[in-house]
Chain A
Amino acid sequence: MTTAPAAAPDIRVPAVPAGRAGFGHLLLSEWTKLRSVRSTVWTLIAFVVVTVGLTVLISLAINGAWTGPRSASRDASVIADPVGAVLGLSLALGQLTICVLGVMVISTEYSTGVIRASLLAVPRRLPMLAAKAVVFAVLIVILAEIVVFGSFFVGSAILHSHVHVALSDPGVTRAVVGAGLYLTVLGLFALGVGGLIRHTAGGVSAVIGIVLVLPIIGALLPSGTVYDHINAYLPTQAGQLVAHVHRSSGDLLGPWQGFGVLCLYTAVALVAAGYLLRRRDA
């Protein structure tokens, strides 16, 4: 029952440096994972198109209807918060693409089974999640800052004849930078939720629920100290404050306080995801 010997496959690794691969190698590995699937590219293209495109459309719409009938109060609010007027709605929709990507970078590992290969390579597990979060955050913060600054410049140029807004105006640079930071941390929050739910559809539904539905429910709550606090501390309500130039009279939190609240939610989601990643069978 002997068979002919195999064509002597040589499977020796030539001159591989010994020693442990460090966290830097894991970052490189996670970057390869992230860039090598089409969903990343398409989601990020959608993010750029939606955010910049909506900014242009809204700025043109405001510009076209300036001092038109019934637009006095709208014009006043644009003057009061030009960054919010230019970026507000495009962020509200652009953030959804970042949330979807955040969930998917981890949930597709489970749906395709590649998580098993990942965990065989990094059996301690937590360094894999940490590297994934770092690579994702760096990519998103760079892209998001480029996109929000680009949107701001395009939008403010379109509105130039009616509202003059510059980065040197008080609070404007912070608001624009803050918009990019908000998107990044929200993306990490989504990544944490994706790691907890381990399922793309479920994870996306949960994050969309938190981002879109919770504020609507919050707005329906009756006025009162307790309800106002619940509203103010919702992840996106709090987090978006950093992208506002001026503090509204009703705001319970300052811009960085609000951002800090979102960071806390994100930390809790990531720590919980890490804890369960260690505990659960893969």
Chain B
Amino acid sequence: MIEARDLTKRYGDKVAVDHLSFTVQPGRVTGFLGPNGAGKSTTMRLILGLDRPQEGSATIDGKRYADLGNPLRTVGALLEAKSVHTGRSAANHLLFLAQSQGLPRSRVGEVLDLVGLREVAGKRAGGFSLGMGQRLGIAAALLGDPDVLLLDEPVNGLDPEGVLWVRNLMKHLAGQGRTIFVSSHLMNEMAVTADHLIVIGRGKLIADSATQDVIARSSGESVRVKTPDPARLAPLLTAEGASVSPVAEGPDAGTLLVTGLPAARIGELAASASVVLHELSPQLATLEEAFMELTAGSLEYGQHSAATAAAVPAATPGRV
């Protein structure tokens, strides 16, 4: 469990993290969401003791990071910034970390296998692609079999297969009862990965609730429904209080955009009426919209409000 209490970090007169308090529970994936510059990386660095907060504190299982004995056995971290010597091989990078924790040398090979880097174990890390570098960072995080994982933008630079792999790994680890705290500015990725979301903007807490609730709070939630029989389905949906708007033009003509009903309920209604569905997809950009809505509020009084307003139209569902 990770607990942040009143965490505050200022660089000069710029406030990076502003009296932030939250708790990250074990057994689920907790997404840490915010636009670039919101203070996500700084918050993680404060939790990990790399930076000192001016106020407040962060603890992991009740202890400050610096007070953990053999910290890599308790906490694994993937930082956004590079933390590998370009001239050192992947195996030696992991070896010195393992040795510092009294872990056996064999552990290096195990995590290299786990992340699929066994064949390049002896290669200098400077020649790694972004994705390989991320895998090496994840290997380092898993080295000590930690119960708590902090991952800062873990899917950055990964190919789609790698993204899926990280997503499954995080869910798997959370399923083992571990605490998984993962930051991202990609809302869609969080929507399919995280069970719980902590949203920050300009260093302040904006939302701390289940992912579903964050999406549901969005006024613009919509579901794309493709059916050969829209005339039968539409009335069923409107009867339940949904508003249905058919897409009139383009390749998607005939598709329905439904708001006000969750995808599950739409599917149930279609099934009960034996209406065939070809597609039933929640519009993931709605989380993006929810997020923009949430952060726009926090930025309203700031100098960046114009930039945020300009960014909102880019997050329309049609773009997904």
Q: Name A residues whose Cβ lies closer than 8 Å to a Cβ of B.
A: 1, 3-9, 11-14, 16-17, 19-22, 25-26, 28-30, 32-33, 36-39, 108-109, 112-124, 281-282
Q: Does B99 contact A (CB under 8 A)?
A: yes
CB–CB A32/B92 < 8 A: yes
CB–CB A123/B68 < 8 A: yes
- Contact residues in B for A122 (Cβ distance below 8 Å): 100
CB–CB A114/B66 < 8 A: no
CB–CB A11/B142 < 8 A: yes
The 4 closest A-B pairs by CB, nearest first: A6-B168, A21-B102, A36-B92, A29-B100
Other-chain contact of B171, A6, A33, A36, A124 (Cβ < 8 Å): A6
Other-chain contact of B83, A3, A7, A26, A113 (Cβ < 8 Å): A113
Between A12, A26, A121, the greatest number of chain B beta carbons within 10 A of the residue's beta carbon is seen for A121
Q: Does B298 contact A (CB under 8 A)?
A: no
- Contact residues in A for B79 (Cβ distance below 8 Å): 116
Q: Which residue of A lies closest to B140 (CB)?
A: A117
Other-chain contact of B102, A9, A17, A118 (Cβ < 8 Å): A17
Count class of interface residues, chain B: 35 or more
Task: State the CA gap A159–B139 with chains docked (Å).
Answer: 58
CB–CB A5/B172 < 8 A: yes
CB–CB A123/B49 < 8 A: yes
Count of A-B contacts with CB under 8 A? 136
- Contact residues in A for B65 (Cβ distance below 8 Å): 123
Q: Which residue of A lies closest to B172 (CB)?
A: A6
Chain A binding site: helix, strand, loop or mixed by DSSP? loop
Q: A32-B99, A112-B82 are in contact. Are A9 and B68 (CB under 8 A)?
A: no
Q: Does B293 contact A (CB under 8 A)?
A: no
CB–CB A16/B169 < 8 A: no
CB–CB B84/A25 < 8 A: no
Task: State the CA gap A32–B98 with chains docked (Å).
Answer: 10
CB–CB B99/A116 < 8 A: no
Other-chain contact of B87, A4, A19, A38 (Cβ < 8 Å): A38
Q: From B23-31, B70-78, B201-209, B244-252, give the one contacting chain A.
A: B70-78
Between B87, B114, B140, the greatest number of chain A beta carbons within 10 A of the residue's beta carbon is seen for B87
- Contact residues in A for B145 (Cβ distance below 8 Å): 11-13, 16
- Contact residues in B for A117 (Cβ distance below 8 Å): 83-84, 93, 97, 140
Q: Which residue of A lies closest to B168 (CB)?
A: A6
Q: Which residue of B lies closest to A19 (CB)?
A: B102
Task: State the CA gap A6–B70 with chains docked (Å).
Answer: 29
